[in-house]
């Protein structure tokens, strides 16, 4: 498929709702448009998924057969890696080089979880109890079975379309579920190609069903649908709470990967050159539109000024641009709506007396670009931009004196997705790791990832885990079986 054919095919998709424009965030020009699928399409997709699951056409296959098909998905993704990268780059505004690095990682999700297809097993138990209704348990046997949930709704965000899609699709397929896929309305392009790859690889019809529409229409209908057994969602904490409320009708299971306000602690004994560069990139990459971005930096007082100056220097030397801008390192924000949100936080901070060391303004060019922004003199007790997730290239930097103060500042948040500590004192590093209230803690590194390492949030940053064994078990339920021998 050519890039233009994908744009044309999206435009031709049937629907009954509003026409939704797809905007290039680097130019503010309309790329294409599509029609919201409408509630009838949601009902039809759930019905197809239910019929496929009840037939056993997918989960009834031996694990080795599902694994072969998942390897084929990965191979086809490799063959079409450039197409997928260009679509995500165009749709999100991220530099093409960044998109090209992400797509191979996405294909590996299917290879990794293909390996689990033959390795998720129940457990046999030696029954130890005596007595009971039957008088004795001497000749009892008990074991557990791992079974797929059934029909699951997978809802992806706009900040990493292919990555977030594969992170959910691969384990859900490996577990044997049938699913309805709902990409963000801002970024539906690569999902269309991925859907066709899945079909070409041999996944039976009805197992994976693509829906396109707004979150408040198609997404809301999916989360409330009585025919859906589970929802897996990545996005904001606010929307996550709405999904929890919507799921109450049939008490469907919910897995949530939500927002973050991740702290970064930089000690005076850290490798400061490395810490400064990584802390800066850890918030400014993709214009801060990442749930694990380190948006609150705390620096030991003795090196505070040096770190502020260093991060400011990085911020001022990062080239902002879109896919067609040679040498661009930092992308635009995804939409005019997101631009308004980010600038609203910054402007409010200025009124409250926050010091803008650099940035704090929109670039004077087409596209939704905000200059990487470094803020100091922030009041942790009252500042909204300090407390709330901005999802933009905005960082606050505050000093601390000792471990207790650093940990208290880091943990003073409703979020708990990620945290980082930079120090060459390894004893301190591991002590701090135990005290930080976050699902992922990185020591002397940031933005690291592996398919086998579980990822999830504390507090209001989510429910459940993705990646690793936990990732496939999130799409399976446990059945206990007892037998009198």
Q: How many residues does the chain have?
A: 485
Largest CA distance in the chain: 82
**Inter-residue contact 214 to 17 (CB < 8 Å):** yes
Q: What is the distance between the alpha carbons of residues 377 and 335, in angstroms, rounded to a whole number?
A: 29
Q: What is the distance between the alpha carbons of residues 384 and 375, in angstroms, rounded to a whole number?
A: 13
Burial class (CB within 10 angstroms; exposed 0-12, middle 13-18, buried 19+) of 247: buried
Q: Known catalytic residue: 291?
A: yes
**Inter-residue contact 376 to 397 (CB < 8 Å):** yes
Catalytic residue, candidates 291, 293, 466, 473? 291
Q: Known catalytic residue: 79?
A: no
**Per-residue pLDDT of the chain in tens (485 residues, 90 and over written 9):** 678 898 988 999 899 999 999 999 999 999 999 999 999 999 999 999 999 999 999 999 999 999 999 999 999 999 999 999 999 999 999 999 999 999 999 999 999 999 999 999 999 988 877 655 655 666 888 999 999 999 999 999 999 999 999 999 999 999 999 999 999 999 999 999 999 999 999 999 999 999 999 999 999 999 999 999 999 999 999 999 999 999 999 999 999 999 999 999 999 999 999 999 999 999 999 999 999 999 999 999 999 999 999 999 999 999 999 998 989 999 999 999 999 999 999 999 999 999 999 999 999 999 999 999 999 999 999 999 999 999 999 999 999 999 999 999 999 999 999 999 999 999 999 999 999 999 999 999 999 999 999 999 999 999 999 999 999 999 999 999 999 88
Catalytic residue, candidates 83, 186, 257, 389? 257
**Tokens standing for residue 391:** 């999802």
**Tokens standing for residue 126:** 């030696």
């Amino acid at each position: 498929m050519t890039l233009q054919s994908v744009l044309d095919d999206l435009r031709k998709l049937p629907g009954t709702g509003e026409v939704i424009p797809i905007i290039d965030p680097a130019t503010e020009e309309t790329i294409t448009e599509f029609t919201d699928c409408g509630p009838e399409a949601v009902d039809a997709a759930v019905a197809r998924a239910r019929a496929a699951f009840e037939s056993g056409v997918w989960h009834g296959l031996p694990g080795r057969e599902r694994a072969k098909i998942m390897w084929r998905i990965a191979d086809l993704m490799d063959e079409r890696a450039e197409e997928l990268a260009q679509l995500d780059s165009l749709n999100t505004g991220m530099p093409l080089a960044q998109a090209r690095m992400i797509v191979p990682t996405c294909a590996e999700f299917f290879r990794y979880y293909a390996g689990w297809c033959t390795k998720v097993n129940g457990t046999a138990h030696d029954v130890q109890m005596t007595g009971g209704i039957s008088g004795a348990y001497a000749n009892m046997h008990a074991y557990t079975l791992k079974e797929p949930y059934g029909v699951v709704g997978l809802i992806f965000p706009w900040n990493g379309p292919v990555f977030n899609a594969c992170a959910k699709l691969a384990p859900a397929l490996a577990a044997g579920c049938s699913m309805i896929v709902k990409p963000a309305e801002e970024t539906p392009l690569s999902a269309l190609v991925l859907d066709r790859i899945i079909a070409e690889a041999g996944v039976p019809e009805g197992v994976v069903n693509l829906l396109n529409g707004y979150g408040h229409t198609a997404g809301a209908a999916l989360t409330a649908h009585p025919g859906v057994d589970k929802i897996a969602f990545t996005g904001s904490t606010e929307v996550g709470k709405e999904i929890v409320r919507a799921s109450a009708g049939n008490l469907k299971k919910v897995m949530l990967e939500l927002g973050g306000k991740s702290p970064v602690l930089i000690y005076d004994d850290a490798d400061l050159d490395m810490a400064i560069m990584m802390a800066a990139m850890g918030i400014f990459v993709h214009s801060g539109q990442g749930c694990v971005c380190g948006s609150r930096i705390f620096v030991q007082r003795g090196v505070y000024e040096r770190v502020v100056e260093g991060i400011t220097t990085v911020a001022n030397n990062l080239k902002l641009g879109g896919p067609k801008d040679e040498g661009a390192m930092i992308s635009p924000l995804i939409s005019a709506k997101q631009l308004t949100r980010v600038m609203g936080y910054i402007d409010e901070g200025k009124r409250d007396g926050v010091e803008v060391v650099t940035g704090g303004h929109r670039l004077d060019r087409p596209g939704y670009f905000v200059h990487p922004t470094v803020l100091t003199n922030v009041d942790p007790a009252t500042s909204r931009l300090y407390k709330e997730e901005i999802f933009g290239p905005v960082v606050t930097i505050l000093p601390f004196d000792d471990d207790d103060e650093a940990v208290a500042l880091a943990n003073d948040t409703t979020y708990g997705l990620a945290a980082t500590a930079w120090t060459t004192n390894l004893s301190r590093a591991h002590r701090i790791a135990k005290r930080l209230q976050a699902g992922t803690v990185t020591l002397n590194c940031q933005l690291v990832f592996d398919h086998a390492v579980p990822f999830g949030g504390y507090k209001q940053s989510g429910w459940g885990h993705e990646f690793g064994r936990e990732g496939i078990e999130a799409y399976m339920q446990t059945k206990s079986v007892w037998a009198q021998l």
